Structure 1
């Protein structure tokens, strides 16, 4: 597995086009590989995420089974003369994960749940839209994903309720786009034919976790968490904790 980071030049028209649509970014990411890679499996696959740290500091992260070639993205949305990307071998880091380790983490996800207004109705997938419900979505999945979000001590909590965890939700977004049927984006229809509109609600989680099941966490880091993985959701990254 490989972890790649690419800084996007937000002043370029091509960059604004990529950032305007998860479908367009997905197609660009998948075009970084000479062969068609898995994008709809439960195992290691191509995951990506856009981090908007500042208006002029936007990064694209990619986790993939093979190294990507982002030359086309540098030409379209980078600095062709001086810019490049960095790709790291992810396997040594993944192999060192141990139970009890603590890490800072970031995850952009598509928090959803299934609802039914009447017993006779089929269930409908609906997005969680409030931070409280989005945090609840993540907490329900932490055990099976191989980690637990670290709880704050009583002294650290600023509120009597809703401030129990070292976790914040930020950069919540709603987007709508048409899913392309092109082969490179995993569709079955050719010629870039459009399908029905797709609505996507995303939230970015920043927090601190403790590893509870290293093998399960490795699966989470390489296979993603939740839905919408083709559209920039599900990629969790770790950094040294305090």
Structure 2
């Protein structure tokens, strides 16, 4: 299976680009517009699509990972510049004991247990304090990584009028790790980690430490 990574530099003079950076429901629609419409009842899963907004010296950048190659002509006019590369070779090269740099934006939340007050039972609530890094240490181990370092940074939650949008904390994790199970790690990269994958969470990026630019 071929895996693609598309980097989109939004044109901030474009009103839709600006709006999408603050509304992940709208951004989800824009991401899915890059793929054919006839993908059935679960189009995001059929396209293998995960996305994340990264911030850097050049401003915000949209990363879209997918198993279908995006069609640049389907991007709204003047939305931004787009560049697609193949990730398959990088994923195939992952092996046990390899040292990698990683980055993930995750929806760090938990569902309240059955013994909680009945008015809040089953609700999703944001993790706080040490719970956040504890969550990542558990999840990374489940997905084939042994963390050597981990930095957790809160990400401002996007606004949305849609009640189904994320209403809980988003956290960016980045650092260095050792691969302990390459197959588990590949599956995590391809499938995503945690909740709210349709809303810009769950995309795990890894690159061998020796290859980082």
The aligned residue for residue 207 of structure 1 is 175
For structure 1, which runs of at least 5 residues remain unmatched after alignment? 151-165, 180-194
The aligned residue for residue 66 of structure 2 is 64
State the Cα deviation string for residues 43-75 of structure 1 (Å, max 9, x = none). Answer: 982100010114x42211111111012334362
**What RMSD over aligned residues (CA atoms) do the two structures have, in Å?**
2.4
SS at match of 1:71: helix
The aligned residue for residue 139 of structure 1 is 137
1:74-113 equivalences under 5 Å are: 75-78=77-80, 83=81, 85-113=82-110
The aligned residue for residue 123 of structure 2 is 124
Relative distance call for 1:44 and 1:32 in structure 2 (3 A) is closer
Please tell me whether the aligned partners of residues 5 and 86 of structure 1 are also in contact (alpha carbons under 8 angstroms).
yes
Structure whose alpha-carbon radius of gyration is higher = 1
Q: For residue 40 of structure 1, report the CA deviation from its aligned partner.
A: 6.6
2-structure distance, mates of 1:196, 1:233: 14
2-structure distance, mates of 1:101, 1:206: 17
TM-score (norm 1): 0.75
Relative distance call for 1:207 and 1:127 in structure 2 (3 A) is same
For structure 2, which runs of at least 5 residues remain unmatched after alignment? none
The aligned residue for residue 184 of structure 1 is none
SS at match of 1:100: coil
The aligned residue for residue 56 of structure 2 is 53
TM-score (norm 2): 0.84
Q: For residue 92 of structure 1, report the CA deviation from its aligned partner.
A: 1.6
State the Cα deviation string for residues 128-148 of structure 1 (Å, max 9, x = none). Answer: 143x32111111111211111
SS at match of 2:75: helix
Relative distance call for 1:205 and 1:7 in structure 2 (3 A) is same
Q: Kindly tell me the number of residue pairs found equivalent between the two proteins.
A: 204
Relative distance call for 1:118 and 1:25 in structure 2 (3 A) is same
SS at match of 2:71: coil
